[in-house]
Copies of this chain bind each other. A is one copy, B any other.
């Protein structure tokens, strides 16, 4: 009878155990979890703090006993695995109830130790008013502080504006806290590109959340009833408590000590069958690294979906032999930020630039469903694609409705190695409450197809900003606003001339043919039509502002 030992009883570990049992009723399975709980809803923790999830029990999907009964698994909580002896195939376990240590042998070992929050070595970081959010115990601590303790200031500082940071902002806001976000990058949520992040930032401001970008923490100082956060810009913030959400790193201590290979990204190295450098030890979840399927560059991916997939594949390979290869993840992530949804799949501009991968980009603002049916919402959709073959490298969406479904489709094209042409071929379930005959995803594909075929030439918001910042730009450029006069009245880019698209054919003589023409409309569609008219009427250098006035205006907001 084969004996499987699993280190870690949350997402990856519990799923591996359950699948192992379903595949093999006779084997022995032991799960060690150093915390009090197994198989809990990690991703739900922020919502428990905010009260959207009212009962802690809702987060505990299984108890050690219920899980053990159902799957005939020996579940040992408060049991920390502190060493692996891979030669003798034993592990050393510390029982945290009584402090005793003992050995346990295994035939096959599965590591699912997860990730640990990054805590920078700053003066004052030990304050008991500074929290990370990673497990049930962390969450209990924050909930205690945020809900039950007497709060004088009702002020919180959230350091780090990633996905979890944003979820914490929403939940603490819901509890009535005034929040300041401190983020060292020039934008929130750095896995999405600036025009997408700008939409989120705009929403945060609408909620009176203070956003300090390009700002770092120097140190923390505790006082009697608050913690002071001293910033790189010299300012000091005072808060009841601080949420530290600057990121996580793979928990590789145990693996490293056991001599298992650690990869270049700092995660446990595994082959495509999720086997570590020791053939009797497999690993899954946040602690492993694998090659990004698009770039080929190894990275660590801290997401529940991939962990679940890996766990199942790991169990299959353990019982049935190494037959199922893990294809990797393109890091598809989504977050709810108040009434908005924001997410990304694949590679961002920042990543593409950093790794010198050539790309084109396009921003569109399609509606969630037919505009003639009530309550359609405009979203912002950005795709990054290869100028060589149109391969979809990455995509990001932000909006109030229908965002997650477009992300899923975009993710499936990105992870299949598909192109922008594939986006136009997708068949959508259409009725007016759900989409348009031309879905936002198809629409983005058509725009990209037109860019690749040189049917129009996009200009990005920052390119236009740079041009307009040069003196006498009018000598070289003609900025053409093709919106209606009524739209122009409500705001336009300084220096633009307004010829509405529907009258453009009559105004061609007024447009200087020796200058570069930069066209813009509200979102880019009429600008495209105007581009086509000019390009086919003898004008040679014609650009259309990507995402139109909507994106330009948002990116120019202070």
Contact = CB atoms under 8 A, between A and B. Distances in A.
Interface of A: 11, 21-26, 41, 43-44, 47, 52-53, 58-59, 61, 66, 69-72, 163, 167, 303-309, 312, 327, 329-330, 332-336, 341, 343, 345, 370, 372-374, 402, 404-405, 407-409, 411-412, 415, 424-435, 437-439, 442, 446, 455, 501-503, 505, 528-529, 532-533, 536-537
Given A59-B372, A455-B22, A412 B426 contact: yes
B412 A429 contact: no
13 contacts: A22-B532, A24-B536, A52-B374, A53-B372, A58-B372, A167-B431, A305-B428, A308-B437, A309-B424, A330-B427, A405-B405, A408-B409, A412-B412
A422 to B, nearest CB: 9
Contacts of A438: 305, 308
A428 B405 contact: no
Contacts of A72: 505
Contact of A333 (B305, B429, B433): B429
A11 to B, nearest CB: 6
Given A61-B372, A439-B305, A536-B26, A341 B434 contact: yes
Contacts of A59: 372
Nearest to A397: B429
Contacts of A426: 408, 411-412, 415
B409 A41 contact: no
A327 B435 contact: no
B427 A329 contact: yes
B334 A431 contact: yes
A455 B315 CA distance: 14
B434 A334 contact: yes
Nearest to A533: B25
Contacts of A335: 431
A536 B25 contact: yes
A428 B501 CA distance: 40
Contacts of A58: 372
A430 B502 contact: no
Contacts of A312: 424, 446
Contacts of A23: 455, 532
Contacts of A505: 72
**What are the 4 A-B residue pairs with the smallest beta carbon separation, nearest first?**
A405-B405, A25-B536, A334-B429, A407-B429
Contacts of A529: 22, 70-71
Nearest to A372: B58
A343 B429 contact: yes
B404 A404 contact: no
A44 B370 contact: yes
Given A52-B374, A53-B373, A437-B308, A502 B70 contact: yes
A154 to B, nearest CB: 25
B437 A305 contact: yes
Contact of A345 (B21, B427, B439): B427
A44 B415 CA distance: 35
A408 B405 contact: yes
A204 to B, nearest CB: 18
A43 B372 CA distance: 10
Nearest to A410: B429
